[in-house]
Amino acid sequence: MKIVLNRVFILLCFVVAAGLISVVACSSNNNQVNPVGTGGSGATAQGGAGGSQVEAGIGGTSGIAGSSGSAGQSDSGLDGTAGTTGSWPKGAGYGHVDSITHLINGAGSLVNLTHRSGQKTMDYTPSGNDPLDAGDGAGAPNTVPTIKSDQVKSEIWMPIIPYFSSPDLVDTYPPLVVIAKPNEVPVVLQPFTVAEAETEFSLTSPYVGKTVWSPHTVMVNGQKLAALTGLDMSLVHCSVGGGPVRHFLTSNGADKIFELFEDGTRQTLVSGLIAPSQMLCHPDGYLLVTTLPIWGCAYPEESVFGCENTGLKTPAKILKVTLDGTISEFATLPFDLKYPANQIPLSNWLRTTTDLMPQGWRYPMALKPDNSIVVGDQAGLAIMHVSGDGQTVEKVADMPALTSSAILAPNGFIYVISNMLMQEDGKTILTPPSIQVLDNDQWTTLQEIDGYQPFTDYLTSYMVGAPCAAQDGGLCLEPIGVLECIDFDDQNNLCIASSVKGSLDCFHLSFLEVADN
């Protein structure tokens, strides 16, 4: 179903960027990889790394999004050097925040942030399509976030999570995809009917009643609805063979990857996945998908609690998914749990009775210029590097606790959102979430993010202990399931979509050091 709204505000989970359009997944903009340039001079002003002027500058560093600038030299246009006025200049440090723009507020729970500029051109020839499985059900209430139209600088795609009515959980409002263009009426796609959404995203459970997603009340455009704690989505855009851009969606509640079409229909690319987390487009013509670690679940006759955790069953993995619909294992991440196992909130992954999934975890990815991969490992609190062939996996840095979102920006720095620390009472925030940057193997706080204190009742759903110096006795609490998302645009902005506050804020960076030329 395709719906045109009669208003010119909208949006959510996205970031503005020059050129084409948007991606939505919270391995952030790293889920989009860039069109391969031809090397040489690149584009001017905001360009970087070869390609046409429209594409240049969105992806100077091969899919990690774009180091901009006028010089695009070496590596077939994939590694442009810093520009003159530029976007994300290399050799100019990691920057500092000089201004903040508040784009969205009061939008419930935003779990995705990205834009459709700089998608990777895949070297792939389609061999056929799966049967179309379209959803054309009734529309939902107004769950489309609002934004000032003059803040939209390029085409934006945003997945909007499904909601329940609150507090009765009787009505289900299906997920949507919103497409926004500068100063144009937004388009809303509804690829799933209510019944299809409840099935495809495991919104209802035959085992535990309505849902295992721990609903919590949020205000969405002034409406009281129930968001589903821990439910995540990943949407990426891939330019296939230099042809039309294709859009792929998955969720940790789904066992499929769906291809979405701009007329509001969908089809299934693959099925049979277990707890997929985040996706990215690979330039060699396939998708890479992280999957969450899975614990086993048994039902001994003498148990009065039903399912009992039998321990780790499957570690987190990276899967290779071809556009012909085949799935293979690309890499396995070592499992080195840094938290007590009994503090991880596990719930039945709703497509089986024998698998337990960690709620509120996310494994973000980024593609490097050499096509190797950087992965954020929540279990091991580590930044992992995976070789381009998937054969070598090694830790390259520690990661701030329970980081749910990380990007490798075009300037070569890794930026993440760190979790908050709270007092033992679970009510007072001692240290708010912050943007942190990895510089010479050291994490530096770039900007603390405020506004979370009014939402502490929601945050107390799941807590784990964490050592800290701010509290007497050296113990704090960290909330689990804070699926904040970080992404960047081509104008030196780091943008944060908040699953807690329902907000989208962009932090503009200035780079004072002299860039390499």
Contacts of 206 (CB under 8 A, 6+ apart): none
pLDDT at 271: 95
What sign does the CA torsion over 335, 338, 343, 345 have?
Answer: negative
How many residues in total does the chain contain?
517
pLDDT at 5: 41
Instruction: Give the DSSP per-residue string, 217-248.
Output: EEEETTEEEEEETT--EEEEEEEETTS-EEEE
Q: What angle do CA 370, 407, 178 make, to 5 degrees?
A: 115
- pLDDT of residue 289 exceeding 80, the answer is yes
At 463, is the pLDDT very low, low, confident or very high (cuts 50, 70, 90)?
A: confident
pLDDT at 372: 92
Q: How many helices (H) and strands (E) does the chain have?
A: 2, 38
Give the tens place of pLDDT for each residue, 385-416: 999 999 999 998 888 777 778 888 889 898 98
End-to-end distance of the chain based on CA atoms, in angstroms? 49
d(CA 450, CA 468): 19
Q: Which residues of 55-69 are buried (b: 16+ CB within 10 A; e: fewer)?
A: bbbbbbbbbbbbbbb
Which residue has 């337990």 as its token pair? 356
At 86, is the pLDDT very low, low, confident or very high (cuts 50, 70, 90)?
A: low
Q: Among the ranges 73-77, 331-335, 411-415, which has the highest mean pLDDT value?
A: 331-335
- pLDDT of residue 39 exceeding 60, the answer is no
Tokens of 276: 């997929």
Give the tens place of pLDDT for each residue, 292-317: 999 988 877 655 556 788 889 999 99
Residues 259/279, Cβ–Cβ less than 8 Å: no
